[in-house]
Amino acid sequence: MMTSKGEKGILTLYSDVQATSVRWLWYPFIAVGKITLLQGDPGDGKSTMMMNLIAELSKGGKLPDGKAVGLSQRVIYQCSEDGVSDTIKPRLEKCGADCGNVAFINEETYSGLTLDDERIRQAIIEFRPKLVVIDPIQAYLGSDSDLQIAGRARKLMQRLGMWASVYDCAIVLIGHLNKKEGTKGLYRSLGSIDVVAAARSVLQVERDPKNTDVRIVRQIKNSLAPSDGEIKFSITAEQGFQWLECEIAQDPAAEPETPVFESKSEKAAYLIKKLLSEDDMRSREIYMRLSDEGISRRTAENTKKELGIRSYRKMRQWYWSIKPGE
C-alpha cells in the first residue's frame, strides 16, 4: 500500500518531484550532469578534437557551431597516453587554452588511478569543473572495474553518473573502438553494452572515405534530445586542426548571447544572477568565478548588496542565495 504525502515509505510520488530541463555544455552532444562517450579508432583525432573544445571552454570562447560559451569553464583533463609537459601542455597552449582553468591529477605522485577512483571524486569536489574528460577509458580500468563484465561495468557507470549529477559536471569518456568491423557502431564500443547504455550521448569519430584528412563525428546515440547534427573537422600537416561543417539544430531552451556591459558592476550583476539561477552556490566559488571574468572581490560584494543576495552558513561554509529567506 502506497503511503500518503508526508508519511515515510519506500515510494515517492512523481507529483512531488519538481521537473527540470536538461542543461547542456554543448547542445545536443554533451549534457551537464550526464556521461558522454566519445569513441573512434586510434589515431582518428578524438583527443585532438577534445583538446580544442577544452580550450574554448576554458577561455569562454566559442563552440564549433559558433555559439558563445559565455563564462569561462573549469575542466579536468586526465590523459595517460601523452606526456604532461612535452605534449599535453604545448597542445593546450597551441589551441589557445587558459591553462589556469584546466587541471589534472599528477599520476607520477598519485599512481594507480582508476576510473571510479575516490581521488577523482575528491578532485571534482575541490576544483568544481564543468567538464571532466578521461582519456582513454581503457587506461583507467582496475581489477574491480572490468568493462567486459556486465555487472561490474554497470556498477562503474552508475557511480560515474552519480558523480556527474551530484557535482553538476559533464563527464566525457574517450575510448577506442574494438575490431569488430561491419558491426553496428553501438556494439563496437570496447566492453559491455552497459557502458553504452549508461552514456546519454555517444559520439563516434570516423575518417571521411573521400578525404582521409577529414573526420566526421556522428552522434549514434542521444537519449536527451533530437540527434540530427553532424560535425566535421580536419587535421593536416599544413594547417593543423580546423573545425569544418557543424550544422546543429538550435537548443529550444538556449539562453540569448551574453550582452555587452557598460560597467564592471553591470557585468557582475548579470554573472551573479546567472550563477545563482539554478541553485545556491558557495561564496568562495562565486568569488573565484567572478575573478576569472575580471570582477574584483570588492565589486562582487557591492553588487551582492545591491541585488539583495542572502548569505547563510552550511557545513562550515558560506553560501549565497537569490531565493528569499525562509
Show me where the domains of the chain are located: 24-247, 264-321
The region that residue 240 occupies, defined by phi over 0 for left and psi between -120 and 50 for alpha, beta otherwise, is left
Query: How does pLDDT run across 54-95, given as a tens digit for each residue?
Result: 999 999 999 998 888 988 999 999 998 889 999 999 999 999
Q: What is the pLDDT of residue 86?
A: 95
Instruction: Report d(CA 25, CA 63) in Å as an integer.
Output: 9
Residue 293, exposed/middle/buried by CB under 10 A (0-12, 13-18, 19+)?
middle
Beta strands in the chain (DSSP E): 24-26, 30-31, 35-40, 75-79, 102-103, 131-135, 170-176, 201-208, 211-222, 230-236, 240-247, 281-282, 310-314, 317-321
Consecutive H or E run containing 126: helix 118-127
Q: What CATH number labels 264-321?
A: 1.10.10
pLDDT of residue 78: 96
Burial state string for 250-267 with b = 16 or more CB within 10 A and e = fewer than 16: ebeeeeeeeeeeeebeeb
d(CA 108, CA 198) in angstroms, rounded, equals 31
What's the average model confidence in pLDDT over 154-181?
86
Position 145 scores a pLDDT of: 45
pLDDT at 144: 46
What is the domain class of 24-247 according to CATH?
alpha beta
Q: What is the pLDDT of residues 22-52, one digit of tens each?
A: 899 999 999 999 999 999 998 899 999 999 9
Is residue 49 a contact partner of residue 215, using CB atoms and an 8 Å limit? yes
Contact 195, 37 (CB under 8 A): yes
Q: How many CA atoms lie within 13 A of 57 on its CB side?
A: 24
pLDDT for the residue numbered 306: 85
- Its pTM stands at 0.76
Q: Could you tell me whether strands 310-314 and 317-321 are parallel, antiparallel, or unpaired per DSSP bridges?
A: antiparallel
Q: Whats the size of the chain, residue-wise?
A: 326
> Does this chain's domain 24-247 share its CATH topology with 264-321?
no
Mean pLDDT of 280-287: 90
Residues sharing a CB contact under 8 Å with residue 236, sequence separation 6 or more, in sequence order: 213, 242
